[in-house]
Structure 1
Amino acid sequence: MRISDVVKRKGDTVITVRSDASVTDLLDLLAEHRIGAVVVSDDGQSVDGIVSERDIVRHLQKLGADVLGKPVSSIMTSEVATCAPEDELGALEHTMTELRIRHVPVVVDGQLKAIVSIGDVVKHRITDLQAERDQLSAYIQQ
């Protein structure tokens, strides 16, 4: 199974935010789209960073409410783990577990194409397991 299989099911829409946007603007995006992380991209195509709810909470604890007026660049993770559509889903699962991350941008030739969350991966696995169960049940009933 490949990353492209997950992207086909979930879609390739990616919400991005500019690095100079405020953390308050970022919070608005997260709430509006009901998502847990946003790719930071100043041109809408490259991956300059990623920022998650966890990043906001950690900086809020450290800096207090002052963090809300700061730019996203001050709290984003700059070294972003990415994957490619042809990568194996198992490798992505391993990366997410080892790095303790929940969101991984899908990149082709340096261009942002999609994002995969741990929820997307789990949903894909559950769907596949249910299909396998149904096939086994049908086989047994023959």
Structure 2
Amino acid sequence: MLIGSILRGKGTEVATVPPGATVRDLLEVLAERNIGAVVVSEDGSTIVGIVSERDVVRRLNERGAEILGAPVSSIMTTEVRTCAPDANVDELRQTMTTHRIRHVPVVSDGRLAGLVSIGDVVKSAIEELQTEKAHLVEYIHR
């Protein structure tokens, strides 16, 4: 299965914040959308970084509540792993597991095309297994 098929099912909308947004602004986006990460982008299509709820928690622990007024750029991950819509889901799942990454932006023609979470990847694997099981059961009952 390809990443593009996950995006067809979940959609391509990606929450973004500019690097100058405050961590407080970031938290508002995370809470309002009930999501775990946002892409940091100046224009909504290029990737400057990514920031997750885990990043916020770690920085809160290190620096305290002062971090809430700091810019997102001060806590974001700048070396962002991305994938293309034609990437293989199994390979991405392995990469996400190996590198302990929970969110991977999808890039097509140099532009942000979606965001895939580990939950999306696991869900697709479960659906694939259920489909295979149904085919095997049908085959056995013939």
Counterpart of 2:98 in structure 1 is 98
> Aligned-pair distance for 1:136?
1.3
Aligned residue runs from structure 1 range 23-34, under 5 A: 23-34=23-34
- How many Å separate the matches in 2 of 1:91 and 1:41? 26
Report the secondary structure of 1:21's partner residue.
coil
Shift of residue 18 of structure 1?
0.7
Q: Distance in 1 between matches of 2:132 and 2:99?
A: 30
Q: Which residue of 2 aligns with 1:56?
A: 56
Unpaired runs of 5+ in structure 1?
Answer: none
Shift of residue 108, structure 1, vs aligned partner: 1.1
Amino acid at match of 2:16: T
Q: Helix, strand or coil: the match of 2:105?
A: strand
Segments of structure 2 that go 5 or more residues without pairing to the other structure are none
2:3 matched residue in structure 1: 3
Deviation at 1:36, TM superposition (A): 0.4
Alignment partner, residue 138 of structure 1: 138
Give the structure 1 partner of residue 111 of structure 2: 111
Cα deviation, 1:36-90, whole Å, max 9, x if unaligned, reads 0000001110011000011001100001000000010000001100000111112
Root mean square deviation, CA, Å: 0.9
TM superposition score normalised by structure 1:
0.97
Q: TM-score, normalised by structure 2?
A: 0.97
